Amino acid sequence: MIALLARDLALAIRAGGGFGLGLAFYLIVSTLVPFAVGPEAAVLARIAPGILWVGALLACLLSLDRIFQLDFEDGSLDLLATAPIPMEGTVAVKALAHWLTTSLPLVIAAPIFGALMNMPAPGYWWIFVTLLIGTPALSMIGAFGAALTVGLKRGGLLLSLLVLPLYIPTLIFGAEAATRGIGGFENTTPLLLLAGITAASVALLPFAASAALRINLR
């Protein structure tokens, strides 16, 4: 399984763009929003956590189809399915690789982009923490969606349609925890719920995703 993680990371680095593309997209989204709502600092500061969360979610979505698609096309997935690694492990490792290459850079960049939107100082910390807790769920749910659509020729749009509704609870609790934290309110409850969604997704979704993969390999 470590071998698989190492390979996926190596592939992401060599292909280039793996880290960069999602990050660039995130930057663009964060830049476009002020153009759309106006440069007023108070307004931007108020909507910043929401925008940063939605932006992270969309940037994460961008690379989901690559989690399994390439391995499906070149036959690796068939071979992995007959290998001694359980399919659930393959799914979990690939979701982890996606998190490391796509989501983690977003988590790190979010506070910087927050500065673009005049986010108050506690915001840097809270947006970082909530995204750090929440993005593993985004990667894992995304891997499930990718497993459902891996056999389809034009699965990209469908993947978004399937995955985005599943992102709603994570988004609500994540953005709520960040907003409350910035406002100086108590935010333990949404943080715990966010962590709960992440824990449950990481623990249970590999089974659903590997079932979907096996169905698609038939």
The span from the CA of 189 to the CA of 195, in Å, is 10
Please report whether residue 7 would count as binding another protein according to CB under 8 A.
yes
Please report whether residue 198 would count as binding another protein according to CB under 8 A.
no
H helix runs in 117-187, sequence order: 121-149, 155-183
Please report whether residue 76 would count as binding another protein according to CB under 8 A.
yes
Question: 48-76 b/e with 16+ CB inside 10 Å = b?
Answer: bbbbbbbbbbbbbbbbbbbbbbebbeeeb
The span from the CA of 112 to the CA of 165, in Å, is 28
The span from the CA of 139 to the CA of 109, in Å, is 17
Name the E strands within the chain: none
Stretch that binds another protein, among 21-29, 52-60, 113-121, 146-154 (CB under 8 A): 146-154
Q: Among residue numbers 109 through 128, which ones bind another protein (CB under 8 A)?
A: none
Instruction: Report how many residues bind another protein under the rule CB under 8 A.
Output: 55
Quick check: 119 and 182 in contact, CB under 8 A? yes
Please report whether residue 136 would count as binding another protein according to CB under 8 A.
no
Please report whether residue 162 would count as binding another protein according to CB under 8 A.
yes
CB of 104 to another protein, least distance (A): 21
Instruction: Using CB under 8 A, list all residues that contact another protein.
Output: 2-4, 7, 10-11, 14-15, 71, 73-76, 78-85, 141, 144, 148-149, 151-152, 155, 158, 161-162, 164-166, 168-169, 172-173, 176, 179-180, 183, 185, 189-190, 193, 197, 205, 208, 211-212, 215-218
